[in-house]
């Protein structure tokens, strides 16, 4: 990888082109004017390398693509209007009618929707495997398997795949691999250097970092990205808009610093939770108690600020009371912003479905943002005291 500081602060920026302004300009334009028929005619021939129309290339977006490609150690990158669009485009560009996909079980919900509801319309089937064991990929592979879809770690239970091993197997069979790397970002894990073909992210999370943009990234070799740009990307027209690209450029300036803060604070909050009598278990990939700690340590530089734990509370009302008592954690989806968040798994079920024997229902996910960890620990402590007072 290029020097990280160079990527974050300088790569792709050409200040001589915009009055030496330190911050890059928002080139908020739909189209670009040409001085002659001959020059627009040659632009029509190659939208990949020309600014012609902002559904294709745009200068502000271009700076962002260069930085994100370099961060991933990739030749090229596309930035789209959501992480879901990154999933959709990367997958749809790599499969054809009759193909078979192997996916990790419980991938991001809209990846699952794509595999279960949309691709079957073209006779494309999907087998879900427990990605923690490479043997499961080998066993699920068929002659028509063309794509393996990974998400490592998973953003709820943090299940991990051995990315090098899966990539090696896939290459031996001519199968394309995609990895959702939203949890780590390329700063903490580099799927491409481990042999994965396409690294995708929800840029809504850490890249934006301020809970104000929805966006997604696809990074890979020019051989994969350029045809994707010329076909699916241009056709779906979901490229990021210049102002949102500019907000992501602003987020990138502090990406390394925010990640470090979030990660370190999460570990402090987790240490508090591990000792608490109402906590059964914590799930954090780089905690030595984590079942896949050794593979996490081998392929991830650090873990992020997102982790989960199970509560020793056997009634859904008590779990809800605990969550409702938190004042410093916002109850909201997503993560990767400045603000700390909480999400109980039981928010996704009807109350009557709750069964304390199903550990998943007692699971709570925390995202630790930029706040002082002591401030967050005090809040958790008060909520625990409030729920203990109930009985």
Ligand X SMILES: *Cc1c(COP(=O)(O)O)cnc(C)c1O
Q: Which residues bind ligand X (CB under 6 A)?
A: 82-84, 108, 151, 155, 180, 182, 202, 204-205, 214, 216
Q: Please name the residue that has the structure tokens 């500081």.
A: 5
Of residues 90 and 141, the one with the C-beta less far from ligand X: 90
Query: Which residue of the chain is nearest ligand X when measured via CB?
Result: 83
CB of residue 75 to ligand X, shortest distance in Å: 23
Structure tokens, 317:
């009302």
Of residues 151 and 371, the one with the C-beta less far from ligand X: 151
Of residues 108 and 361, the one with the C-beta less far from ligand X: 108
Give Cα separations from 296 to 25, 104, 156, 163, 267 (angstroms): 39, 17, 15, 10, 15
CB of residue 391 to ligand X, shortest distance in Å: 35
Q: Which of 82, 81, 335 is nearest to 205 (CA)?
A: 335
CB of residue 343 to ligand X, shortest distance in Å: 11
Of residues 106 and 302, the one with the C-beta less far from ligand X: 106
CB of residue 90 to ligand X, shortest distance in Å: 11
Q: Any bridge partners for residue 365, and if so which? A: 308, 343
CB of residue 318 to ligand X, shortest distance in Å: 28
Q: Please name the residue that has the structure tokens 């290029």.
A: 2
Q: Please name the residue that has the structure tokens 């009634």.
A: 315
Of residues 141 and 201, the one with the C-beta less far from ligand X: 201
Of residues 199 and 204, the one with the C-beta less far from ligand X: 204
Answer positive or negative: Cα dihedral of 65, 66, 67, 73.
positive
**Which residues 6+ apart lie within 8 Å of 383 measured at CB?**
322, 323, 325, 326
d(Cα 323, Cα 101) in Å, to the nearest integer?
A: 38
Structure tokens, 10:
């300088």
DSSP H or E stretch at residue 311:
strand 306-311
Of residues 200 and 346, the one with the C-beta less far from ligand X: 200
Of residues 27 and 86, the one with the C-beta less far from ligand X: 86
CB of residue 88 to ligand X, shortest distance in Å: 9
Of residues 194 and 306, the one with the C-beta less far from ligand X: 306
Structure tokens, 182:
């939203």
d(Cα 152, Cα 296) in Å, to the nearest integer?
A: 9
d(Cα 102, Cα 53) in Å, to the nearest integer?
A: 37
State the distance between the two ends of the chain, measured CA to CA, in whole angstroms: 55
Q: Any bridge partners for residue 342, and if so which? A: 331, 366
- Please say whether the beta carbons of 203 and 245 come within 8 A: no
d(Cα 71, Cα 82) in Å, to the nearest integer?
A: 19
Read off the DSSP letter of residue 25: P
**Which residues 6+ apart lie within 8 Å of 161 measured at CB?**
104, 131, 132, 134, 150, 152, 179
Structure tokens, 172:
């031996």
CB of residue 133 to ligand X, shortest distance in Å: 21
Of residues 56 and 216, the one with the C-beta less far from ligand X: 216
Structure tokens, 27:
């080139």
């Amino acid at each position: 990888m290029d020097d990280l500081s160079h990527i974050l602060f300088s790569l792709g920026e050409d200040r001589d082109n915009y009055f030496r302004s330190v911050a890059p300009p928002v080139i908020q334009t739909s189209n670009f004017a040409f001085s002659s028929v001959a020059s627009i005619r040659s632009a029509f021939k190659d939208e990949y390398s020309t600014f012609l129309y902002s559904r294709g290339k745009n200068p502000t977006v271009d700076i962002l693509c260069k930085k994100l490609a370099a961060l991933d150690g990739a030749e090229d990158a596309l930035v789209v209007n959501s992480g879901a669009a990154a999933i959709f485009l990367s997958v749809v560009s790599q499969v054809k009618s009759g193909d078979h996909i192997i996916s990790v079980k419980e991938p991001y919900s809209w990846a699952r929707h794509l595999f279960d509801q949309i691709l079957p319309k073209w006779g494309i089937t999907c087998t879900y495997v427990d990605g923690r064991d490479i043997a499961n990929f080998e066993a699920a592979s068929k002659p028509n398997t063309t794509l393996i879809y990974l998400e490592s770690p998973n953003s709820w239970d943090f299940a991990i795949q051995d990315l090098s091993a899966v990539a090696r197997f896939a290459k031996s069979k001519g199968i394309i691999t995609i990895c959702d790397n939203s949890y780590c970002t390329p700063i903490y894990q580099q799927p491409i250097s481990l042999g994965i073909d396409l690294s995708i992210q929800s840029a809504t999370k850490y890249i934006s970092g301020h809970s104000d943009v929805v966006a997604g990234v696809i990074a890979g070799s020019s051989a994969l990205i350029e045809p994707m740009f010329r076909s699916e990307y241009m056709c779906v027209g979901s490229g990021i808009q210049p102002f949102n690209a500019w907000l992501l450029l602003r987020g990138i300036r502090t990406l390394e610093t925010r990640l470090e803060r979030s990660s370190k604070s999460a570990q402090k909050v987790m240490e508090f939770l591990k000792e608490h009598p109402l906590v059964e278990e914590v799930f954090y990939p780089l905690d030595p108690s984590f079942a896949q700690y050794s593979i996490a340590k081998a392929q991830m530089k650090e873990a992020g600020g997102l982790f989960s734990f199970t509560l020793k509370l056997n009634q859904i009302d008590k779990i809800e009371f605990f969550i409702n008592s938190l004042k410093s954690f916002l109850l909201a989806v997503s993560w990767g912003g400045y603000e700390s968040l909480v999400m109980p798994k039981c928010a996704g079920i009807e109350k009557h479905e709750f069964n304390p024997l199903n550990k998943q229902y007692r699971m709570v996910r925390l995202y630790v943002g930029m706040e002082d960890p002591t401030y967050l620990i005090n809040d958790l402590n008060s909520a625990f005291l409030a729920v203990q007072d109930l009985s």
